[in-house]
Amino acid sequence: MKTLVSKQRSARRDVAQLVTACCAAMCLTWSAMAIAQTVPPPPAPSPKPLLLTRLQTLGQQLVSDRNLSEPAGTACVSCHTAQTGFANNHGSLIGVALGSRPGAVGLRNAMSQAYQSFVPPFHFRVVDGDTDAVGGHFWDGRADTMALQALGPFLASAEMNNPNAVAVVKKVAKSGYANLMREEFGSKIFDKPDLAFQNMGVAIAAFEATSALQPFSSKYDMVVQGKTKLAANEERGMQLFMDTKRANCASCHLMKPTSGKPEDSLFTDFAYYATGIPRNKLIPDNANPGFYDLGLCGPKRTRPALGANVPGNISIEKFCGTFRMVSLRNVANRQAFMHNGFFKDLHDVVAFYSTRNSDPKRWYGSTGIPNDLPVAYQTNIVNDRAPFDRPKSAGPLLNQGEIQDIVAFLGTLSDGYVLPPRAPILSSLR
């Protein structure tokens, strides 16, 4: 009997030791798994510091200086922050920018400051008998160069509100970076305020042309360079974006995903279009029912003269109500869309293109008639290409899933994408 009890006790000790060993091994395995899940991946490499020339540094100082408005407090960066795709409206929620004066509101949505060095000077282009207005800075192309565009907001009453160039230059002369102006343009530069003001534009343009504002660092750019791949929904969105019989976005927002060069995909053709954007009734000027912002025909610019190459049967009235096609780079970061800032959500922008023809009352009210152009210029609205040639009876162009896919693809155009780190490889346990 004692022998039997002794054997049972010995068996129980063996089982206990086996269970302890198994538990230890399992705990060790679980610990290793926990480490694999909780140890953070190695940090992404810090971007290389931006090396600027003296002229570029001066431009950076100028766009950041909040003392250059009247009253002080508004800088170029107030409407062009990196977090919002270099386009925001200085805290305004109505789709157009606030100025430096309390209550001062502009007429148009702030344009992106990024990738501006690729915009050609304003001109008329004739291809196969089709005449297009192309290029120029601002929504209406009234500035041929980046330098000229950069100076405009300083003197605009609804923006930085300075009375003249002399007033701006006096402020720069008192700044902490005044010596940069002297070193770059001569010790007597402030004695020539008109020349100094022009050179401010040159400096700002030099900074805008650096990789700080045109880095080509989006996920799309990484795909073009073969460094990563789009997710399934992003890929579906890109295919719809390029489909000439469906969304057909790429017919105006030009892209070359197979070129290997990100700079071949600027997502604009720089031409001018009237797409029937609904009227933004929150813009103070639009309280007058007889007021219309006609883009190339005013009110911000004098009607441009037609070039000698333009056919004789074309008049400037063909372009009334048209605005320059902007790049879609960083579009998902923006807070308002289109020249009048009517749209505040990118999903709604795509939905508009999908349903402008099939459900016009959704956008224009009970009449279903485009409401931000006078009747005389309604024929300028694009209707001869997809998606704008779609008959009303055909219904919406896109379903909700397809809209979401296009929005997902547009999200890949935002700069600052960081390639995911490779998962750490754990050595096997012994």
| Identical fold between 54-208 and 219-411 | yes
Cβ of 324: how many Cβ atoms within 10 Å? Answer: 25
Rounded distance between C-alpha atoms, residue 105 and residue 280, angstroms = 13
3 state DSSP class of 173: helix
Name the nearest CA neighbour of 212 among 82, 334, 308. Answer: 82
* pLDDT value, residue 129: 87
* pLDDT value, residue 4: 38
* pLDDT value, residue 422: 76
* pLDDT value, residue 24: 39
Q: Phi/psi class of residue 385: alpha, beta or left (left: φ > 0; alpha: ψ in -120 to 50)?
A: beta
Preceding amide of 71 cis, omega within 30: yes
> What are the backbone angles phi and psi of residue 137, rounded to the nearest 5°?
-95, 160
3 state DSSP class of 320: strand
Domain 219-411: which CATH number of 1.10.760.10, 3.30.300.30, 1.25.40.390, 3.40.50.300: 1.10.760.10
Where do the domains of the chain lie? 54-208, 219-411
> What are the backbone angles phi and psi of residue 131, rounded to the nearest 5°?
-100, 125
Task: Answer yes or no: CATH 1.10.760.10 is held by domain 54-208.
Answer: yes
How do the pLDDT tens digits run along the chain, 430 residues long?
Answer: 444 344 444 444 544 444 344 433 333 333 333 323 333 444 444 455 679 999 999 999 999 999 999 999 999 999 999 999 999 999 999 999 999 999 999 999 999 999 999 999 999 999 988 999 999 999 999 999 999 999 999 999 999 999 999 999 999 999 999 999 999 999 999 999 999 999 999 999 999 999 999 999 999 999 999 999 999 999 999 999 999 999 999 999 999 999 999 999 999 999 999 999 999 999 999 999 999 999 999 999 999 999 999 999 999 999 999 999 999 999 999 999 999 999 999 999 999 999 999 999 999 999 999 999 999 999 999 999 999 999 999 999 999 999 999 999 999 999 999 998 876 655 544 4
Preceding amide of 387 cis, omega within 30: yes
The pTM (predicted TM-score) of the whole model is 0.86
- Give residues with Cβ within 8 angstroms of 153, minimum separation 6: 76, 79, 159, 160
